[in-house]
Amino acid sequence: MSGLETRQAAGFTTVDRAGVLVVTVDRPPANALNRSAIHNLAALFAELGEMREAPPVVLTGQGERFFCAGGDIRELEGAAQEELDARMREFHALLVAMDRYPRPVIGAINGHCVGGGMEIALFADTVLAVQGARFGFPEINHGLLPADKGIQRATRLLGARAARKLLLSGDLFDVERALEIGLVDVLADPAELVDAAVASARLAGAKAPVLYGALKRSLNDPDDARDETSLQRTLASAADYFDDPVARGLRDSWNGSRSRGGKG
């Protein structure tokens, strides 16, 4: 990417708002991420991070109901273990790229933000959300697991007790609870959400980049060895649950309910 461009990639669009890049996840109906979307988002953050003047970024979702429903589980139907591994590697790379991004990242949560969507939100520096947004890690109820790096981030940001409750129950919760535990910073009007997020990104982007980037490095404490351990833990856990009959039964049941009109 040379400079900021308005463009459409598999799974998302980008729009330059006077130096703030608005990235909109766009995979109807639930903005669930398939492997190509995950790969392209990871590449975008890695590419932007290499720019001499990396822009502030706003992340939001297309539509009014979903920010991101997590990974597209339909992609796993009939897939080999190698395909699951590849997707896990891509998602880990996205979280690493966001973790190391030196400029402001603002989450504009326009609807349900669950699973992988919640992991992405945890790597934003500031999160705005609308009334009616729902959050959570439902993976344990669907025969899946979050990425280990996302789990570690949840523990650090939300606290061990809150993260334990969310991860082990799989329960979804409302924006008031998200504000209470520190996942969401600002409750925003839906009509003003993206504009408010852009304003927040621009204000943060006005800080000296060298200082902002240094503070993010100290706060996020990126570490190659720790990230590699986290990736290997994610891959080992995926290998255990991919063919486990109980986990597979949960995935099949969830897929069945969705095909009959259940929520994504």
Q: When comparing pLDDT for 77 and 5, which is higher?
A: 77
The token duo for 100 is 């190391």
Distance from C-alpha of 162 to C-alpha of 97, rounded to nearest angstrom: 25
- What is the mean pLDDT of the segment spanning 34-39? 94
Among the listed residues 90, 139, 176, 192, the single catalytic one is 139
The token duo for 20 is 């703030």
Longest dimension (CA), the chain: 53
Task: Please give the pLDDT value at position 8.
Answer: 76
pLDDT in tens, 200-241: 999 999 999 999 999 999 999 999 999 999 999 999 999 999
Among the listed residues 75, 83, 90, 119, the single catalytic one is 119
Whether 139 is a known active-site residue: answer yes
What is the side-by-side order of every strand in the sheet holding 126-130? Answer: 7-9, 12-17, 20-25, 57-61, 105-109, 126-130, 186-188
- What is the mean pLDDT of the segment spanning 29-51? 95
> Model pTM?
0.93
Question: pLDDT-based confidence at 261, cuts 50/70/90?
Answer: very low
Distance from C-alpha of 23 to C-alpha of 108, rounded to nearest angstrom: 10
Distance from C-alpha of 205 to C-alpha of 202, rounded to nearest angstrom: 5
Reference 175, options 112, 231, 122; nearest CA is 112
Task: Identify the DSSP state of 183.
Answer: S
pLDDT in tens, 141-174: 999 999 999 999 999 999 999 999 999 999 999 9
Q: What phi, psi does 110 have (nearest 5°)?
A: -95, 0
The token duo for 190 is 């839906």
Task: Please give the pLDDT value at position 262.
Answer: 39
Q: Where are the domains of the chain?
A: 7-191+206-259
Task: Please give the pLDDT value at position 77.
Answer: 77
CATH number corresponding to 7-191+206-259: 3.90.226.10
